[in-house]
Amino acid sequence: MSLAAPTPAETVTLLAAVAATAFVATLVWLALALVARIALRASLTLAAANAASALALTLHALRGVAPDALTRWPSDVLAVASFALLGAAVQAMTTRRLSWQTTTLTVAAVATLLLALPDGVDPRWPARIVNGAGAALTLVAGLLAWRQLGAAADGRRAPAALALPLFLLSLLLAARTVETFVNAGSAGDLRVPSAFNIACLWAAFVLVLLQNAALALLVLMRLVSRIERLLQRDPLTDTLNRRAFDQALEQAHAWLQRGRGYALVMIDMDRFKQLNDTLGHAAGDAALRQMVEELQPCVREVDRFGRLGGEEFCVLLPDTGIAGAALVAERMRALVHAAPLHWLEQDWPLSASFGIAEAEPGDANGAAVLARADAALYRAKKQGRNVVQE
């Protein structure tokens, strides 16, 4: 028993279904961008990509009904634009950069190439150009997403798998390109009622859903990551807040039991109350931000820099002894002292006092090490400030 051959109505219906899905996705991304204000640039770019795809498929379905000038070249250019915009949106989500120049140049180059095709050219050539360009663009977007998301994986999730729909879409477009070469009767027209076109349209329908769902999940992950960061950061200086620093300290102390030591550098800005009383609290805030900026070059990627309260900060130095902590603290002291605060056309000298301590096997917890560093800081204050004490 043989299966019935596809009819033109089936292909047009599937084309309409894919276009409608892309149109709904456009509305969803617009709502995320304009109402929820989530990942504004990336969401708007994805809305544009889905809109271009919906319009391209709609015009493709109208070929033979509406004038060719409206349904052929515009449809092909919009299709390529949708793939280029998809790649730009992925870049915006994974690297936080949006490259309009690359997108514009790519679409312009393909549009010019399509326009330059001579009259009466084999109708498979426009399909080859559009599908080939789409396959390349989505492959590049998938590789970018795979690399960036894989590098950001934290062990709790596997975000690189979110690039899979892009690879599958690239594979589908490559298959359509190859089909125009191996099948002499192919016209590269999705309206043709063939088993291959039906399979491609069903695959496109599923991939549009998967692709938008995966990117929506990526946006959600970014939102959760941003919330987690806000919960862990001091809003004024962008250092760890007290709660997040205490968690990092206890984790470091747990590693101490496995032979991995650490040291603490306590930091307190000198005469901070006098600065506030003289220049105002805005100047005090500026002084704290400046001090943190001056100290950042001394902080390694593995270190943890936190604000404990007021003008008091602490740096956790994993795999560091008291001698290493002393060198770090002395460099910090010199940097702060060398950079006065410029405020209202006057310079206010800044300095800080430092207390250092090294974790010892007998310490019950991180709080014991912190208490020793705090005591050393108190001795530094008593010695006249702008000194390092252990």
Structure token digits, residue 209: 């859903």
pTM above 0.85, yes or no: no
The whole-number pLDDT of residue 78 equals 96
pLDDT digits over 140-162, tens only? 999 988 887 766 554 444 566 77
CA angle centred on 355, ends 244 and 275, rounded to 5°: 85
- Active site includes 294? no
Pair (99, 247) in one structural domain: no
Pair (93, 164) in one structural domain: yes
Range of the domain at 378: 242-389
Indicate the burial class of 143 (C-beta count within 10 angstroms; 0-12, 13-18, 19 or more).
middle
The whole-number pLDDT of residue 219 equals 83
- Among the three residues 231, 259, 282, which one is the final residue of a domain in this structure? 231
Taking the C-alpha atoms of residue 137 and residue 142, their distance in angstroms, rounded to an integer, is 9
Query: Catalytic one among 311, 330, 360, 390?
Result: 311
Q: 1 lies in a domain?
A: no
Pair (174, 247) in one structural domain: no
Pair (378, 279) in one structural domain: yes
Pair (12, 130) in one structural domain: yes
Structure token digits, residue 163: 């690039």
Q: Torsion over CA of 33, 39, 41 and 44, rounded to 10 degrees?
A: -30
Pair (72, 204) in one structural domain: yes
Mean pLDDT of the chain: 90
pLDDT digits over 350-381, tens only? 999 999 999 998 888 999 999 999 999 999 99
User: 386 — alpha (psi -120 to 50), left (phi > 0) or beta?
Assistant: left
